[in-house]
């Protein structure tokens, strides 16, 4: 296996540790999937708790909007339906939008496309369909670095050029993250500047 051969590489998920009597809610780990256009960094850990809670809250608000629209439709007198129809349609549309967001999925991946020189942030929904959340050109990349979160664990992050914005790419063992950091740095930063 040479330095750039990641076709069979799998980072082992870490077992959640007990910290201060509280169990960590997020398992870490990632997998590199090779493709003809580049490679994908796929998160194999459990989803972030904040994402799950946000989607749950959005689903509840969407259900309340839909219930409100149905109640307005059913309880309004027949003569008032014409005047209330824009409000009812707006409530239904807003409810559909919120419920679509809440069911987008929890599984995320980052696709490094070396042919198009872009990094795509992709979410996989529960039925297996992919939705591109964001696209970032390689020219916007400032650095790829590891933030240490423990003795042997860390987070692989990407910082944008001339900005404080960053993306969390993967979490896991720092030894595994270093190889991916070196490859992403070579593909996204070094090759882009030549």
Mean residue pLDDT of the chain comes to 79
Separation CA 186–CA 194 (nearest Å): 11
Q: What angle do CA 133, 137, 139 make, to 5 degrees?
A: 150
Match 């069979």 to its residue by tokens: 8
User: Are 123 and 34 in a shared domain?
Assistant: yes
End-to-end, the C-alpha distance of the chain in Å comes to 27
pTM score above 0.75 = no
User: Are 68 and 82 in a shared domain?
Assistant: yes
Domain holding 139: CATH number?
2.30.29
pLDDT per position as a tens digit, 113-158:
988 888 998 888 777 788 888 898 888 888 888 888 888 888 888 8
Separation CA 146–CA 42 (nearest Å): 17
User: Are 122 and 158 in a shared domain?
Assistant: yes
The band of 26, judged by pLDDT with boundaries at 50, 70 and 90, is very low
User: Are 178 and 84 in a shared domain?
Assistant: no
Can you give the pLDDT at residue 84? Answer: 86
SS3 144: strand
pLDDT per position as a tens digit, 50-97:
778 888 999 999 999 999 999 988 888 888 888 888 989 999 999 999
In a domain, 153, yes or no: yes
In a domain, 6, yes or no: no
User: Are 180 and 111 in a shared domain?
Assistant: yes
User: Are 75 and 169 in a shared domain?
Assistant: no
Q: What angle do CA 45, 123, 173 make, to 5 degrees?
A: 30
Range of the domain at 88: 52-102
In a domain, 59, yes or no: yes
User: Are 110 and 179 in a shared domain?
Assistant: yes
In a domain, 3, yes or no: no
Count of domains in the chain? Answer: 2
Separation CA 111–CA 188 (nearest Å): 12
- Residue 51 makes CB contacts below 8 A (sequence gap 6+) with 106
In a domain, 5, yes or no: no
User: Are 165 and 124 in a shared domain?
Assistant: yes
Separation CA 47–CA 30 (nearest Å): 12
In a domain, 69, yes or no: yes
Separation CA 117–CA 112 (nearest Å): 8
């Amino acid at each position: 296996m040479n330095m750039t051969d990641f076709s069979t590489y799998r980072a082992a998920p870490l077992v959640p540790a007990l910290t201060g009597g509280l169990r960590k809610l997020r398992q870490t780990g990632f997998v590199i999937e090779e493709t003809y256009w580049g490679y994908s960094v796929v998160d194999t850990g459990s989803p972030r708790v904040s994402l799950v809670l946000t989607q749950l809250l959005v689903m509840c608000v969407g259900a309340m909007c839909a219930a409100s629209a149905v109640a307005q439709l059913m309880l309004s007198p027949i003569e008032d339906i014409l005047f209330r129809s824009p409000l009812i349609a707006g409530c239904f549309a807003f409810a559909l939008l919120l419920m679509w967001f809440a069911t987008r999925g929890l599984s995320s991946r980052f696709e490094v496309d070396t042919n198009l020189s872009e990094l795509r942030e992709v979410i996989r929904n529960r039925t297996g369909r992919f939705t591109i959340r964001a696209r970032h050109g390689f020219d916007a990349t400032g650095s790829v670095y590891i933030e240490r979160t423990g003795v042997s664990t860390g987070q692989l992050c990407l910082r944008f050029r001339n900005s404080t914005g960053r993306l969390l790419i993967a979490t896991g063992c720092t030894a595994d993250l270093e190889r991916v950091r070196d490859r992403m740095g070579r593909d996204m930063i070094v090759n882009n500047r030549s």
